[in-house]
Amino acid sequence: MGDKKVIGIDLGREALKYVVIAVHKNTVAVEASGVRILDLPNDADNATWRAAAVRVLQEWISEKKLPAGAVVITAPSAHTLLRALKIPTATLDKQLTEEAKQQLPFPLEELDWSAITVATEGDQSHVSLAAIKKDINADLLALLAEAGLQAAAIESSALAIGNVVLHAGKGTVAPATAVLSLGASASNLTIVDGTKLWMRTLPVTGSAMVGALAKTLAISEAQARTTLFNDINLAVQQEGDSDAAKNARAAVTRLIMEITRSLTFYKSQLNGDKPQKMLLTGGYASIPGLREFLAERLKIEVEPLAVFAGTTGAAGAQATLLGEALGCALTGAGLTPYSLNLLPADIQAQRRFNCKKPLLIAAAALFALVLVGLLVSTSHKKSVAQARAIQAQELLARVQAVDASITATRRALDAQFKETENLRRVLWERDLFVQLWQMVEKSMPTNAWVNGIETKTFADVYEKERAALPANSPERTMAVEDEDALARVVRIVVRGGCYGKWEDIETPFRAVNGLQHVSQNELTQWKKYIDYALEADLDWDGNGTNDYLDVKKAYSVQTRSR
């Protein structure tokens, strides 16, 4: 018997990646891998991206780079909802669906979703849940069908990376390790501690960095991408840094704030220790100086992810891009401890039935033959045998009718998939930080500068406000659990300096649209210049009420209506 072959495909926004593995007695050999850059502009629509992706997949098939075997693909991270739940183990099966309804922003009827238990603590189970809109999944499957492929499973990119690390560690990782996959359209943070696993999608992406750099420098996206990877070094910060370096460093500073916030969530949810190491991977992991910059700011060891550790064979020249594809292949081979299959439930049921269908038909046929034999050899039981033969034939007819019904349903579903338009949901306003930076910087006079902008989420402000309330206050006992509400940026702190008078800064800053309740946090007078720190509430929708009060009011109304 030949080796089992499995193909993992990562359908990225800027590049498509594949890994082919062969499995023999739990030994994994990488037989082939490849990366194809799509060279599409950041603002390319979904139809353009889909046409390019189909063309690449068809070329790989015609060139026999994708052999016969199970295919597992990544779900698009920018559209994948990840949630961490804590549910009593005894009632896990009963409560899971209800918890999913509460945590996900869409009705379950509109989603394909899956959940796994990633840890247990006492009588509690820690569950990771992933979901994606059905219409997005339908478009993804239609893309594969157009290319001539069929997915055996759709895996979460964040989980795929975690499974790569767990496979290399033979099922366990110590001490706790974080993996940052910095991609074009999404960035995933996955933490592995022993056998426990925790995932989160971050709102800082490579394409947003390129777009902001292009806008700031008034250059093309291709030139901005070249500048990002060739003309800057985040690890070397000089007084005369270029605008490109400042822009890139600001974006990565935003990323560091998101990582820090995520580590806090991780500790509160899984009661885990701070990771001792961070592994870096993804298409934008090779920005010069990124590893050193992250290590310095996070106070943690940072090194590249050894994607193909624990496997044999050719690793590929672009190994840092292939983590998600390898994780998908390992999942398809059944070599990973966790799997979140986001393939639609009806298709999964059909696949299971298709596997059993030959056995059902053979069993029915054999049953019919046995009854016919009994009819010939035992004439005294002729009437009974005839009745059983009729029953067997009816059973066979029902099996064939079910098979025909499933086939018809599949054809109708495929037709519907081809007609479905892709509705993209923006999970995060990824360019918020850059917009804030530009908005504030434009208001500054020529004798002033901005060193950095610190954003504060609803969670930061709300927890501080609750802590100041009396112990018997009803609001103090009401905790906001909606992660989207908690992560909403509602306040900023701008730090910088100026030559001249303090009023030169304060007056234009108070006039910036979208800011409310400006207050002076720090003001230090030096011999030649002033250091300042200003704090302001955001009124991003311009309704006259700051965003913190908007979120708080919306959550209170939503809570009372339940």
CATH number belonging to domain 4-343? 3.30.420.380
DSSP state of 283: T
pLDDT at 485: 75
Tokens of residue 473, six digits: 């206050």
Beta-carbon contacts of residue 295 (< 8 Å; ≥ 6 apart): 278, 301, 302
Q: For the chain, which ranges sit under pLDDT 50? A: 1, 417-418, 420-430, 560-561
Q: What are phi and psi of 302, to 5 degrees?
A: -125, 130
Beta-carbon contacts of residue 373 (< 8 Å; ≥ 6 apart): none
- Interval 542-561: pLDDT, tens: 788 888 888 888 776 555 44
The CA-based dihedral angle spanning residues 166, 321, 199, 250, taken in that order and rounded to the nearest 10 degrees:
140
| pTM exceeding 0.75 | no
pLDDT at 415: 56
* Domain boundaries, given as residue ranges, for the chain: 4-343, 352-418, 432-561
Helix (H) or strand (E) holding 222: helix 221-230
Beta-carbon contacts of residue 384 (< 8 Å; ≥ 6 apart): none
